[in-house]
A = this chain, B = another copy of it.
Amino acid sequence: MDTTLLTINNVWMMLCTALVFFMHLGFSLVEIGFTRQKNAINILFKNVFIISIGLILYALIGFNLMYPGSFIGGVMPDYFINLFGLSLPENGLTPAYASGGYTYYTDFLFQGMFAATAATIVSGAVAERIKLGSFMLFTLFYVGLVYPIAGSWQWGGGFLSSLGNQVNELGETIKEAGFYDFAGSTLVHSVGGWAALIAVWLLGSRIGKFRKSGKTGALPGHNVPLATAGVLILWLGWFGFNGGSVLSAEPGATSLVLVTTCLAAASGGLTAFMVSFTKYKTYDLSMFLNGILGGLVGITAGADQMGITNAIVIGAVAGVIIVFGIAFLDKVKLDDPVGAIPVHLFCGIWGTLAVGIFGKMASWEQLGYQVIGIVAVGIFCLLTSFAILFTIKKTVGLRVSKQEELEGLDIHEHGMDAYPDFRLNQH
């Protein structure tokens, strides 16, 4: 193993880890920006809780559960998480990958930052009406168990990763096609998105969102500048999310990934803006912002597989999906305050399919494997999130009281006001 290359790879992966960590600020700002002032503290609390508990759970359970793909086991605990011995694990610097990889510490932290993301996606969709304690309970199970189990199927060497494996005459495993999800359009974003869908359905819509008259009520977010800042921070974070998913600093792959990621984001935003302008005759900043996020989620499954044009096309389709996806959710009366479901679920599915359409291995067979992966993860997430959330609903309850919802969760659950110095409008 080349020490110098190990050092470079490790530097790159650590900085990508920092960028993915920073995405949690991005999510926080998007979520509070697109919701009302009276619930801002509640949402911020959920977000700092998620990243904190996410890392601790990933150290205690998730990392071992996800890699090497076997339930609580494998070789890693022996030399990595020496949890009950209060001594320094001496060989934590053992590189995670054979030739010039990076350390297990870096591997843990990079993957740990991903783990918390799934719950953050749900957080936005259920904003302004879920009980804090119930959400925290859900997070424990979803981040601690569901995310790493689903992840282990592909990234931990599980059954999804062996789809399409064939043995040739020499007894070697070869692969012409198989499920591919570069940085997690399905394994991260859809995992969050499916649970968001179930949660929004079980919770019901916010008071005032869907009026008896059949009209959709306007419940505008309270701080568009912070939402915009959040989206730009998420875009920045995606440099690490996708760039780090190369799992090395290999120059060709990492720089291609950054180019496709940025072009898809740009294309997604521009397309969502243009489509929504055509449809609604207004320059809708929220659509532009969600289009950027949709483009980012869309490119995530195949960021290393695409050329310039592919990336622009994938982003553009994601932008269209955003505009019609948001309209569709309103039509079926599912209340997703921040657009988490169109961004992470719909564009997550699109991005995963796009690998079978535009990727280097594009073929009908490849597309079939992509569908298998989407469906397998989807069924698992739908079942587990339903089981967790339905149990919570029937026991401690999911939704705050009507009075609490009207007056705001901040005062009721936190005894605080996000901006006590400012007078508020009633609406």
Q: State the A residues within 8 Å of B (CB).
A: 2, 4-8, 10-12, 14-15, 17-19, 21-22, 24-25, 28-29, 32, 36-38, 40-41, 44-45, 47-49, 51-56, 59, 81-89, 92-93, 95, 102-103, 105-106, 108-109, 112, 132, 220-226, 228-229, 231-233, 235-236, 239, 243, 249-256, 258-259, 262-263, 265-267, 269-270, 273, 282-286, 288-289, 292, 305-310, 312-313, 358, 360, 413-425, 427
Chain B CB within 10 Å, residue with most, of A103, A222, A284, A419:
A419
A423 to B425, CA, bound (A): 5
> Which partner residue on chain B sits nearest A2 by CB separation?
B4
> Which partner residue on chain B sits nearest A103 by CB separation?
B255
Question: Which residues on the B side are within 8 Å of A420 (C-beta)?
Answer: 220-222, 425, 427
A103 to B425, CA, bound (A): 53
Q: In the bound complex, do residue A424 and residue B422 qualify as a contact, i.e. CB atoms below 8 Å apart? A: yes
Question: Which residues on the B side are within 8 Å of A4 (C-beta)?
Answer: 2, 4-5, 8
Shortest CB–CB separation between residue A220 and chain B, in angstroms? Answer: 5
Question: Which residues on the B side are within 8 Å of A421 (C-beta)?
Answer: 36-38, 222, 424-425, 427
Shortest CB–CB separation between residue A182 and chain B, in angstroms? Answer: 13
Shortest CB–CB separation between residue A221 and chain B, in angstroms? Answer: 8
Q: In the bound complex, do residue A425 and residue B427 qualify as a contact, i.e. CB atoms below 8 Å apart? A: no
Q: In the bound complex, do residue B83 and residue A265 qualify as a contact, i.e. CB atoms below 8 Å apart? A: no
Question: Which residues on the B side are within 8 Å of A53 (C-beta)?
Answer: 266, 270
Chain B CB within 10 Å, residue with most, of A112, A259, A360:
A259
Shortest CB–CB separation between residue A372 and chain B, in angstroms? Answer: 24
> Which partner residue on chain B sits nearest A101 by CB separation?
B251
Using known A-B contacts A4-B8, A307-B86, A425-B420, determine if residue A103 contacts B251 with beta carbons closer than 8 Å: yes
Using known A-B contacts A7-B249, A44-B224, A220-B417, determine if residue A309 contacts B358 with beta carbons closer than 8 Å: no
A10 to B9, CA, bound (A): 11
Question: Which residues on the B side are within 8 Å of A424 (C-beta)?
Answer: 421-423
A–B pairs, 14, beta carbons within 8 Å: A4-B5, A7-B251, A36-B421, A41-B285, A44-B224, A44-B225, A48-B289, A48-B292, A53-B266, A88-B256, A92-B256, A95-B251, A108-B259, A423-B425
A243 to B17, CA, bound (A): 12
A120 to B258, CA, bound (A): 22
A226 to B38, CA, bound (A): 15
Shortest CB–CB separation between residue A102 and chain B, in angstroms? Answer: 7
Question: Which residues on the B side are within 8 Å of A286 (C-beta)?
Answer: 416
Shortest CB–CB separation between residue A314 and chain B, in angstroms? Answer: 11
Question: Which residues on the B side are within 8 Å of A262 (C-beta)?
Answer: 21, 55, 109, 112
Chain B CB within 10 Å, residue with most, of A41, A48, A250:
A48
A427 to B420, CA, bound (A): 9
What 11 additional pairs, Cβ within 8 angstroms, besides A11-B249, A282-B414, A421-B425?
A: A14-B239, A14-B258, A18-B258, A21-B236, A25-B232, A38-B421, A85-B309, A95-B251, A282-B413, A420-B425, A422-B423
Q: Which 5 A-B pairs have the closest CB atoms?
A: A93-B252, A105-B255, A52-B266, A37-B421, A10-B251
A338 to B233, CA, bound (A): 23
Q: In the bound complex, do residue B10 and residue A254 qualify as a contact, i.e. CB atoms below 8 Å apart? A: yes
Shortest CB–CB separation between residue A116 and chain B, in angstroms? Answer: 10
Question: Which residues on the B side are within 8 Å of A225 (C-beta)?
Answer: 29, 32, 40, 44, 223, 226, 418-419
Using known A-B contacts A220-B420, A415-B282, A423-B422, determine if residue A360 contacts B88 with beta carbons closer than 8 Å: yes
